[in-house]
Amino acid sequence: MAYLADDNRYEKMSYNYCGTSGLQLPAISLGMWHNFGGIDNFETSRALVRRAFDLGITHFDLANNYGPPPGSAEETLGRILKKDLASYRDQLVISTKAGYGMWSGPYGDGGSKKYLTASLDQSLERLGLDYVDIFYHHRPDPNTPLEESMKALDMVVKQGKALYVGISNYNAQQTKRAAEILRDLGTAFIINQVSYSIFDRWTEDKLIDTLAAEGLGGIIFSPLAQGLLTDKYIDEIPEDSRVASSSQFLNETDITTEKLTKIKELHHLAQNRGQSLAQMALAWVLRHDSIASVLVGASKVSQIEENIKTVDQLAFTADELAQIDKICNLDV
Ligand code: NDP
């Protein structure tokens, strides 16, 4: 039977303007870095996307290299769009990126105009789309003039292949310079995608203020520290978890005794607030006005269902914020 989206989906989510742009993003977006590759079960990936959309998640985030194999997450979303979501295209915000190594030789990595424009064409082909909503430069490239990478972003907007552009993993100074260049070009530059969580605070040193000053929105990746900021690792390492998988980005050595103690204390604090640790960790990131959305990954539908309930309780008392910092051994 053809998929029909839940009529009440927009009542379950809150939406935030992305910087000073007119584009609103759901407070919770779905990231497709893990669990959407060619190696994953297609029906599971499809169920995650459909449930997310039914719960008001309108934004799906990709990159050229997501898989494995690289490119296959875009193909998976392309198949799901075709099967289920084609008639909802105008209700979806789909993003992709280029910047990490994608194909061999000098033109498949970095920030050259040659790489970025070819990569977006390939992404559109895999997605089966004429345009993406947001196209990002995935990381700063010290070997390419920033002007060249930004002009490539400007070009894809003028060509109609992306509606808006963004940068990812750029620090405060790089963000400011990118904004100057793109403002001069008149490009629809709206967003920086960076990591931030209770355990990962680098953005607090200038970047969050820079986003606000430049009228940009922030979208946060790994807000759950890849799953550590949930209750899943408190008693054991579940067999079906990212830590137990062959992920090169998260493994057992990341769960030190010290970290586990912090996780338990944070879990206790979240329970006192009447929410799960995952929900508290997401709300904590969303407390900044300049952060439009958190990009959450999921391996199970139940995780998406738990995570979207974050929007029911976003407020923190000063005392709760101080307790979180204290648990993290930060000065209060
Ligand atoms: P998270 O910190 O949200 O971690 C997601 C993982 O945590 C899930 O896959 C799942 O792992 C676990 N999880 C999620 N919700 C729950 C829950 N309620 N209870 C228990 N476990 C839960 O984010 P990611 O690290 O996955 O990153 C999110 C997205 O950000 C990516 O998909 C990608 O789109 C983007 N990203 C961008 C980067 C960039 O350089 N721009 C870099 C990295 C990510 P499990 O498998 O253990 O169930």
pLDDT of residue 329: 87
Task: Give the tokens for residue 61.
Answer: 């985030």
CB-CB contact of 60 with 50 (8 Å): no
Task: Give the C-alpha distances (Å, rounded to integers) separating 68 from 43, 79, 322.
Answer: 16, 16, 40
Taking the centre of ligand 1 as the mean of its atom positions, its distance from the CA of residue 224, in whole angstroms, is: 7
CB-defined site of ligand 1, < 6 Å = 31-34, 61, 138, 168-169, 193, 221-227, 230, 232, 241-242, 278, 295-299, 303, 306-307
Q: Which of 168, 171, 3, 15 is nearest to 83 (CA)?
A: 3
Task: Give the C-alpha distances (Å, rounded to integers) separating 16 from 29, 87, 186, 201, 309.
Answer: 11, 24, 23, 22, 16
Nearest Cα residue to atom 12 of ligand 1: 227
The three-class DSSP label of residue 332 is coil
Per-residue pLDDT of 147-189, as tens digits, reads 999 999 999 999 999 999 999 999 999 999 999 999 999 999 9
Phi/psi of residue 307, nearest 5 degrees: -65, -35
Number of the ligand 1 atom closest to the C-alpha atom of 228: 7
Please state, in angstroms and rounded to a whole number, the distance separating the CA atoms of residues 155 and 254: 41
Q: Which of 269, 286, 284, 282 is nearest to 309 (CA)?
A: 282
Per-residue pLDDT of 79-110, as tens digits, reads 999 999 999 999 999 999 999 999 999 999 99
Task: Give the C-alpha distances (Å, rounded to integers) separating 66 from 122, 169, 223, 244.
Answer: 13, 16, 18, 20
pLDDT of residue 331: 54
Nearest Cα residue to atom 14 of ligand 1: 298
122's enclosing H/E stretch is: helix 113-127
Taking the centre of ligand 1 as the mean of its atom positions, its distance from the CA of residue 261, in whole angstroms, is: 21
Please state, in angstroms and rounded to a whole number, the distance separating the CA atoms of residues 297 and 30: 6
Number of the ligand 1 atom closest to the C-alpha atom of 243: 47
Give the alpha-carbon dihedral of 102, 105, 109, 111, to 10 degrees: -140
Taking the centre of ligand 1 as the mean of its atom positions, its distance from the CA of residue 145, in whole angstroms, is: 31
pLDDT of residue 322: 97
Nearest Cα residue to atom 5 of ligand 1: 297
Please state, in angstroms and rounded to a whole number, the distance separating the CA atoms of residues 32 and 52: 12
pLDDT of residue 332: 47
Number of the ligand 1 atom closest to the C-alpha atom of 193: 41
Predicted TM-score (pTM) above 0.95: yes
Number of the ligand 1 atom closest to the C-alpha atom of 300: 48
Please state, in angstroms and rounded to a whole number, the distance separating the CA atoms of residues 300 and 126: 24
Determine how many CB atoms are found less than 10 A away from the CB of residue 104: 8
Name the residue of 55, 168, 295, 304 to mutate for ligand 1: max ligand atoms within 8 A of Cβ. 295
* Bridge pairing between strands 132-137 and 162-168: parallel
- What is the block-wise mean pLDDT of the chain (332 residues), using blocks of 10 residues? 95 97 98 97 98 98 98 98 98 98 98 98 98 98 98 98 98 98 98 98 94 98 97 90 85 89 97 98 97 98 98 97 93 50
Nearest Cα residue to atom 35 of ligand 1: 221
Burial state string for 274-284 with b = 16 or more CB within 10 A and e = fewer than 16: ebbbbbbbbbb
Nearest Cα residue to atom 43 of ligand 1: 221
Name the CATH topology of 12-225+285-310.
Answer: TIM Barrel (3.20.20)
Residue 139: DSSP 8-state = S
Please state, in angstroms and rounded to a whole number, the distance separating the CA atoms of residues 8 and 37: 30
Task: Give the tokens for residue 185.
Answer: 């070009």
CB-CB contact of 215 with 20 (8 Å): yes
pLDDT of residue 240: 87
